[in-house]
Structure 1
Amino acid sequence: MIVDNAKITLTNLRFHAFHGVMPQERIVGNDYTVSVEIGYDFSRAMVSDNVRDTLNYAEVYEVIAAEMRCPGKLLEYVAGRMGQKLMEVFPAIREMTLQIVKLNPPMGADTDGAGVEVHLINDKTGSLTSVL
């Protein structure tokens, strides 16, 4: 069996975190969702039924949660830092699409949120390339 374009997803993880440009945002915090789609070859797990042959969702969640606990002014910065950390911890990740949404942005608009989405490719050298 040949597997092409296999992905692992975590969708709408919810956090209360302290990111923002405005000082009050870093004091009071805001609610966020994080979604990630990770390109990862899990073909061995399709045969073995063993978690060691795939990317453990719980371990991915722990990296994301740790990064959400570290305040940043810009969601772009938080997304870049989070993507870098995920690829450091799990070097077999080929690529990922990462979305972070602030659910109640302080901009006076009736909205479901404002945020960033980035597609990152692991170039295997330790640095990330952003593809929009």
Structure 2
Amino acid sequence: MGELDHEACIEIFKDVVREDGENIYRQDWDSGEFGVGSDMIYKFKHWFWWEDDFGFSGPYDSMIEAFPQPFIAITKSTVMIHCTEWDIDEIILNLRPVDLDDDRFIEINGVEYQVSPAGEVNPAY
């Protein structure tokens, strides 16, 4: 038998999580320049997995543990958040502006909100 290719096994596992897991959190961002992307959390087999441009990590016991910091960072590049595990109030409770100079308009679960640099979140009517 040949030697086990660990890197190939990890890539196969990531594909299984993406395909068979549930994408429960997505945050899209667009810097307006060359940077655009999404940060995601998958739920697979009762565990949570984080994926962003820097890589894939997990397993975590809870969704909040999967975030790189214990809150949802809102930056000047954030454009959208979609979460199936938390309602709007829970999402807003966990938002924190990071290096935000001006109000930011973002879509949260299909509704547009205005986030201030002080962390105030209001519907954008």
On whether the aligned pair clears a TM of 0.5, the verdict is no
Which structure's residues are more often strand, by fraction?
2
TM-score by length of 2: 0.32
TM-score by length of 1: 0.31
Name which structure has the greater RCO, CA cutoff 8 Å, separation 6+.
1
Which structure's residues are more often helix, by fraction?
1
